[in-house]
Each structure stands twice: as structure tokens, then as C-alpha cells.
Amino acid sequence: MFFREYDPDKAESWTHELERTFETMKCTEEDQVRLAVYQLKGPAHEWWRVQRQTHLTGQHLDQITWQRFLGVFHGEYFSDYARRERRDQFYELVQGDLTVRLLSSGKAGAGQRRRGGSHGPRS
């Protein structure tokens, strides 16, 4: 159940639990959104009702994809600040002695080859 908590960790946890349920129950795309909406309670359900009336006007529930639902949900429950914070946390993750930021920049490869950490180019 989701009651409209503006806590990115709780919102993310809720969506991950739903996706786990979708996979276990082999839910279709239409059933995914239907189940997610069913799990919205209290203020969160009212928020969804308003979204349907304002942003998703004319769309039947079966026409709303899970990705579309997540986009609307994240727009409400993940503030720009929370998204930036999550992004920064991700880039500061460490693998070995390298951060994700360094690994994704492509600069890590040259340093690793000099230290013997690379096995050459992959084909």
C-alpha cells in the first residue's frame, strides 16, 4: 500500500515491490497499472484521481503503460532535489578503487591497462 509519503526511499521501495509482484504473478502491462492504482490509498489515491482528470484525460486505465504511470508517479514523489541526490550517490559508488563516475567517463580504462588490470579490447 502507498499512502502518499514524500520519502524517495519509500516510494522507490514501493515500486520495486510492485515490480517484484508483477514478475511473480506474470502480470500483463494493463494489470500492472491496475494493481498499482489499487495499492494507492488515502491521499495517494486522491492524487491519482486528480492526475487522471488533469494529465491523463480521456485515457482508459488499460491505455496507461507501467512506464507512463512511473513517470507520473516519480514526477510527484521524487523531487528534483531527491533525483539529484540519488544521481550523486550513484556516481560516488565505488568498484574496486574506482568510482562509477570515473568508470563511466572512460578514463578508468587507460589507468587500468597501465596497471595490468585490463585484458585488452573486447570484440
Q: What is the pLDDT along the chain (123 residues), one digit of tens a residue?
A: 787 666 778 888 999 999 999 999 999 988 999 999 999 999 999 999 999 888 887 788 888 999 999 999 988 887 655 666 666 676 676 666 666 666 677 665 555 544 444 444 444
> Do the domain assignments include residue 121?
no
> Do the domain assignments include residue 122?
no
Q: Which residues are CB-contacts of 103 (< 8 A; sequence separation ≥ 6)?
A: 95
> Do the domain assignments include residue 103?
no
Q: Can you give the residue range of the structural domain that contains 34?
A: 2-98
In the prediction, which pLDDT does 115 show? 47
pTM: 0.61
